[in-house]
Each structure stands twice: as C-alpha cells, then as structure tokens.
Structure 1
Amino acid sequence: MISGKRFQLFFPAVAVILWFATGSVPAHSHSGHDHGDGLNINLPDVLAQVDGKEIPKSTIIPTLVKNVERYKERGMALSPQQQKVAAKKLLEEEIHRSLLLQKAKAIGVSISDKQVDEKVASIKSTFKSEDLFKKQLKLRNLTMEQYRSKLHDDLLMDAVIEKELSGKITIPESAIQEYFQKNKNNLTKPEKRKASVILIKVDPKTGSAGALKARRKLEDILKQLQNGKDFETMAKMHSEDSLASRGGDLGWFTQDSHMFAPFREQAFKLGKGEISGIFKTAHGLQVLKVTDIQKGFLATVENSRETIRKILLEQELKKRTRPYLEALKQDANVKIYF
C-alpha cells in the first residue's frame, strides 16, 4: 500500500493536526469577530456544504489560530486578507477530505479496526515510551478514541487514492533506469560505525615521566576492559574529555564524515564490540570501542528497482491527485459561504 503521508496524522512528524468537531451548526449563521483567538476576520459558523454535509468553522479554527500565532511570533503578523486566504486553503483541504470520504462509501472502500490498530502500533513505535505518545495526544486535545477516528478516516482516504489512481499507473523500465542514473549516489548508503572513546591526557610539562604515567593508567584501564569491564562505565569513571558523561559515545559516522581522523581510522579497522589498542592523538592517549555497525548499501538497478518504482509512483500520484480531487469537486454539490 502506498504511504499515507498525503493525508495521515503522523505526529510528531506532521506539525499540523486538523480538528474535527462533533455536531452540526445551522447553515449561514454568523459568528462575528473571533475575539480572543488572534483572528481579525469574520467567519460563518458553517463554512461550506459538500453534498449536504456541513463543514463547521470549528473544523479549521484551531489550525488557523495556531498558524496566525506562529507568524505573529516571527514578527510577520498576517493581515485580515492573508488570514482569509489561509482560512480558504484550510477549507479547501477539508472539502477534499469530505469528498474522499464520500467517495469511499460510493466505491465500497472500508478500513477495519485491525488496520487502525496496526497503524496506531506503528505510530506508537516511533515514540520512546507510551507516556510520550499520550503526552502528544494531550497537547493536541485529542482522546485516543478521537485520534483513532481521525486515523481511520486518513487510512480510508489513502485507500481511495490507492484504488482510484495507484492501480492505473504503470512505471516503465526506462523511467527506472533514468532515475537510477541520475540518483545512484543518493541511493547508495555508506557503511556507518558507532564508537566510544576513553581519553587520558598527557601534560607536556611533565615530560616523559608524565607520558609514562598516563600510558600505564590507560594500560590498566584497557586490561580491565579486556577482562569484561563495561566500556561506558569505565569512560564515565576515568575518561578526561567532555564525552565522559556520555560514556565516551561518539555517535554514528562514516569514513567520509567530519569525525576526527584518528577515530575514523581506528573504528573502521575493528569489528563490532572490539576495542583498539592505545593510540596517540593531539588530545592525549586513547582507546576506542566500536559499539555498533550499520552495513553499507551499494545501489544497483536490480536491488533499487522496487525503491525507485515506489518513488516514481509517489511522484506520479502527486501529479494526479489534485486533478482527481478537482474532478470530484466538479461532480459534487459544493457550497462555500465565505
């Protein structure tokens, strides 16, 4: 199935989450100015109707207010005309959503609870904990039930696009070949290493005696590491650099990265879990441990074909989705009240 990024509410990746109000408001009634929310425009309580289904003002207000506030914080307060343009854009998105949901009913597309469960689980997996996920819901004034309802609709709209458009698109081999030739460097991924270091400084004022003392100290540390002592713990206890509090962690890097050259050289000579011998740098005497390895990927047309096909399909879908939505709009009875 094509990714749902066109419609789905994938927080925290997506900054804007649309609010769906429950209940309806009589059409054509007027709210006057929205004092207290930062808006300087008049909006009717019902913004539009799509085949008789009302789109209330409350559907777009939270997002509109948030956008207006964001521009104001940047010193670029939106004029009433600009606020109106922003409101119309949000309304257009809501009209498209309504059209797609109605189309889903018309063509018999449905989404099961199991599919929603799987998507919720997938989204939760991007958070470090269940509590952080719940915190994001709370920040957006969403209950889990409301979020599931929104996610269900997003999956439903994605399924409509999948059925109506994706199945009708063919990506020719020539397009795949052309894309590969232009993007093969981006498709190839270099091998990455993750490593940690321990530093024992050498005071030049102490001469050879100081250097020998530092070496012996690090030799003792290295012996303990080789006998099973935990590298992170030893780094926190003994390392004499700013990385000590992090257990000496250098993070991920490639052979072509800006990582300190001696660290790169040592890391790419070792296997996962291996510890280097003592080596000298401008900072002092050090040992390094490779804590993880991400294998590289040398792209070829054969091993990249499916990835390229999906990229090109997504690009083609973007071209066809808006005309498709406009065609749905032309066939529907859409009334806009501002």
Structure 2
Amino acid sequence: MRSLRIGISIFVAFLSFGLISCNRQSAHVADGVAATVNGRSIMLSEVDRIISQQTGGQQAQLSPLELAAARLQVLDGLIQQEVLFQRAEKEGLLPTEDEITQAINSEKIQRNMTEEEFQRMLRESGQTEQALRETVRKQLAIQKLQDKVIGKIAISDKEVEDFYNNNKQQFVNARGVGLANIVVDPQDNGYQDDAKNEAEAKLKIDEIYQRLKTGNADFATVARARSEDPSNVRGGDIGFATEEQLRQAGFPQDLINKFFNSMQVGDITPPIKFPNGRWYIFKLTDKRLQTENLTLDSPGVRDQIKNALINQRRSLLNAALLEVAMNEAKIVNYLARNMLNSPNNLSGVRPAPAATAQPTGSASPQK
C-alpha cells in the first residue's frame, strides 16, 4: 500500500514542495513534463526545483543515479498531492479565498512573523505571494478531504471501555510539575530580539524578570515575543515532568525542591543560569504532589481514549483514501518511462572532491 506523504503544515509544504504546475494540456517528455494526472502536467523543472531546495542548492553533487532516485521520489510525492487535490476539487471541497488568507495569517502569528519578515521569507525562497496562496489552496483542500473521511469514524462505548481495561497502566497522573520557560542565550542564534554575548544576555533576562514581577506582563506573551527557544511558539510551555525526568534533564536539585515545595502554581523563578550558559525563567503551570490512578469517570479520560482510537484509524483511512484516489486517476509517469527506455544513463558516481596538498610529516592541527 502506498504510504501517505502529504504534509499539512502550510509553510513546510511551501518550502518542501513548491507550486505544482496546473497545465491542463497533455504533454510529452520532450516538453519537459515529468508526469500527468488526469491530463494535468507536473513539470520536470518543478521536480528539480524541489530537489534543489532539499539539497540546499547542491544537487550538482548528486551522481546521475542519486539524481534519478531523488527525481522519482519527489515526483511520487507530487503525483500523490495532485491526485488528492483533484479528488477534493471534484467533491467541492476547495477553500475560499478568505480561508486561505486566514491560514496564512494564522501561520504568521504562530511564528511571530512581521509582514516585513514574511515578505523577506518569500523573496529568499524565490516564490511570490500568489504562488504561496496556490500551495495553501491545495493543502487546505486535501485537509478538507481527509477531514471528511475521518468524520465518518464512530467510536462505541464498548471500544472505549475495552481500550481502558487493556491499558490501565497508561491512565496514571504521575507526581510532577508543569512548566513554562523564557530562555535567553548569549550565543548569536538568530532568534527574535537575540542577545549576542554574555552582557546582553544578562541585561535582557533581568529586564524580562523585572517586567514579569510587576504583574503587568503575561508570561506567555513575553515568551512568544522574547524567548530564544523553540518553545516560544507555545508561549514557553515545555510540558509536564516528574521529579526524575527533571533530574535527567539537568535541573539543579534545589530548583526541583522549590517546584515541589515552596512554589505555587503561577509563581515564577528569578533568572537561573544553567551549565549550558543559557539563562532561564520558569513559571510553574501545574503541580501534582501525589500519583493518581485515573478511571473512566475521571475528567478527560473518555475523550482521550476516543481521540487515541480515532488517530489509530486516521492514518489507515488516509492511506486507503490515497490508494483509491490513485487507482481511479489516470496517471502517466513520463519520467519513469524515460528511465526504463534509457537505463544506461542512470549509472555513475559522485565526483570525488579535489585533493588538498598536505605537507609531508605535518603535525595534526592544534585544538
């Protein structure tokens, strides 16, 4: 069964796949067409552009055999995407222009991206805003198609009870704490409002702490705007951890003791410098001092089980959807045909790097 490799993340899809040509005319290999799906062309130039993005512009370093394999793999993903998009189109599941705009704006907000940064990202990736909108259109249409299939799933009470009885060990609220953090790194890491040395890092973390202490600033809002850590997109949230997990993560024991004793939910720590050189401010978001065995009547347990059962079926149904759509579509893979007709053009190895002269008997570089 073909695996479903269609991603839903808008910007990941934008950077990884690019814009698929929608030429509806039949075409041939000589015209640069890699494949057609129900008469719509996928151009070889689009395949090669994606390979260039994936290799950071180093596709020339691939041997003919490696390039041929990469082309087949990328083209397979583009064919699958086009097949699903056309099925969504046929079922009347195309997004509106407002939905496309909203999806792009939501991604900007999640990434804390200004309009200037957004336009720069477009320029650096060599794409126009209209090209991005067309990519988003396809991704949203495919998402709607998959959601329509998933919406048919019905989970019975007996399935929920059977899952719980067979997996009781999973339904335990362990003793632990929930945390969020704001991080300042003295290294030049390219993050927003980036501190670039020790002095700047200390000044920044102290300024953030004083602002939080006044009570006039929301921790999550500050984290999104100023934290130099991937958790900033979640408002600094780093999840729930047991005491042992905190120790394994390198948290000092005296800090762990504060979490479980003197600190109350909502409290924040003063700035703390970890051995990795980064400064941290932690917020206690949850606190559980005893391990609790959950039952089916515990809040959220039934919903958690239902979601788990739905997710188990989701991947299977999405794969089945793709299989049916591929079987019903008329696909002509000119690239694969051309390879079969010219197998001797696929041999070759990557050129060896140029040798660098080394003085005889020279010592190893000093570290």
TM-score (normalised: structure 2): 0.57
- Cα distance in 1 for residues equivalent to 2:207 and 2:32: 64
Counterpart position of 1:270: 263
In the aligned structure 2, how far is the partner of 1:69 from the partner of 1:195? 33
Matched-pair contact (CA < 8 Å) for 2:26–2:39:
no
Q: Secondary structure at the match of 1:293?
A: strand
Shift of 1:90: 1.5
The answer to whether the Cα contact below 8 Å between 2:180 and 2:283 also exists between their aligned partners in 1 is yes
- Counterpart CA distance in 2 for 1:137 and 1:189 is 46
Q: Secondary structure at the match of 2:283?
A: strand
Cα 1:45–1:275 change in 2 (3 A) is: closer
2:328 — aligned with what? 331
Structure of higher RCO (CA pairs closer than 8 Å, 6+ residues apart): 2
Amino acid at match of 1:324: L
Contiguous gaps of at least 5 residues in structure 1 = 31-43, 197-228, 235-245, 277-288
Give the one of 142, 146, 149 matched to 2:127.
Answer: 142
Question: Who is 2:168 aligned against?
Answer: 181
RMSD of Structure 2 on Structure 1 (CA): 4.2
- 1:195 and 1:292 in contact (8 A); partners too: yes
Superposed, 1:185-334 pairs within 5 Å as: 190-193=176-179, 232=209, 255-256=243-244, 257=246, 258-268=250-260, 269-271=262-264, 272-273=266-267, 292-296=283-287, 300=294, 301=296, 302-334=299-331
Identity %: 17
**In structure 1, how many angstroms separate the alpha carbons of the residues matched to 2:42 and 2:165?**
45
Moved more, 131-140 or 295-304: 295-304
Tell me the distance in 2 between the aligned counterparts of 1:85 and 1:182.
45
Q: Is 2:133 the partner of 1:156? A: no
Kept in 2: contact 1:99–1:328 (CA 8 A): yes
Q: In the superposition, relative to structure 1, how do residues 181 and 195 fare at CA in structure 2: closer, same or farther (>3 Å)?
A: same
Structure 2: 5+ residue stretches without partners: 183-205, 212-225, 227-235, 271-279, 336-367
- Is 1:66 the counterpart of 2:58 in the alignment? no
Contact 2:93–2:145 (CA<8 Å) still a contact in 1?
yes
| Count, aligned residues | 259
SS at match of 2:36: strand
TM-score, structure 1 as length reference: 0.61
**Distance apart, 1:9 and its partner CA:** 3.7
The CA distance in 1 between the partners of 2:36 and 2:119, in whole Å, is 34
- In the other structure, the counterpart of 2:199 is none
CA 230–7 in structure 1, closer or farther in 2 if over 3 Å, else same: closer
How far apart, in 2, do the equivalents of 1:63 and 1:231 lie?
Answer: 41
